[in-house]
Structure 1
């Protein structure tokens, strides 16, 4: 065969980049940031940040942005109570249990607030009798406030026997033990035959008085 028609392969690399360089570029593309992503704040890390962590105990609203591995490492090494004494730690834990660590305020106007001053002004106008104020007809507020009446004692629950016994002693239902004893002594002295020169006309009444007194003693009223 003539030499002009013989096949002579030429070993020429027609690829744009060598294989080693292509692998490095693929590795870089894996960590390349997409639009809208931010880089991890850990020094030298080129991964996308997917988790945030507070910067310090006193700046809980300011955060670092880390990739997931560096966020886990930061959380393992972060101590919220670092630099606090045991008393301060205990106080913070009590606040956390009571209020969840959040600040609290009283649900009322301060003594020097505008609302308090307006109320005092209108209340004073009402006390003076002018229109537009708060009128305290019964002296329930302010320096002239009157104390309510003393609580009345609860009525005793008296049965039929106790009521009849008090009636035999000529007493009302509110008679106390001292009054019952005094009345009983008075009636015995007046109705006893020895006090009436042997007259037994009041003996029947005397028996009712003695029986009534015994019934009241049994009921615990004497």
Structure 2
């Protein structure tokens, strides 16, 4: 487990630096007078699957996306090894993470959340199951956006969730908006002990595993 944390921590630092420094994919950033200057403030991360120290939130693609990257968000069940070399049977387990932040920007602009894409990886033996549940609320939305992805073994690989806002809802002009992003990962190995370990990971163990929220901007 110590080696996993060390590896994911290194990938997290590399990914966060790349996202922060990379130019927008589509085109160069427009002049400052034509850019909303989106900034994240008061970022908090709490829960059994994350803390502020192992979770990063950054804007990307010229302010047209928000990326959330985890480095310690994983849950295990089944034959789970301990640091002392012993193995404990855990029939089912769950972890959650709540990220809250404020998105600020220049007067004369407003934005809407248009879609989000969430990724993870899972290793599940035959008969085992996993689930990821996501609930996202942005100030000004009439109701939270919620999604659930059910997973079933045998499985060893990546999974993704995607949802579009229909229709996108733009907020009050120039007013900072608070976000609440809540994610839960669960895994169930069943009641019959087996010599296998099941796991659902939302960690940045590869550069393709992070959550992306797509934004549309317009003048108001």
Shorter-chain TM band: under 0.3
Choose between structure 1 and 2: higher strand proportion: 2
Choose between structure 1 and 2: higher helix proportion: 1
Which has the larger Rg?
1
TM-score by length of 1: 0.17
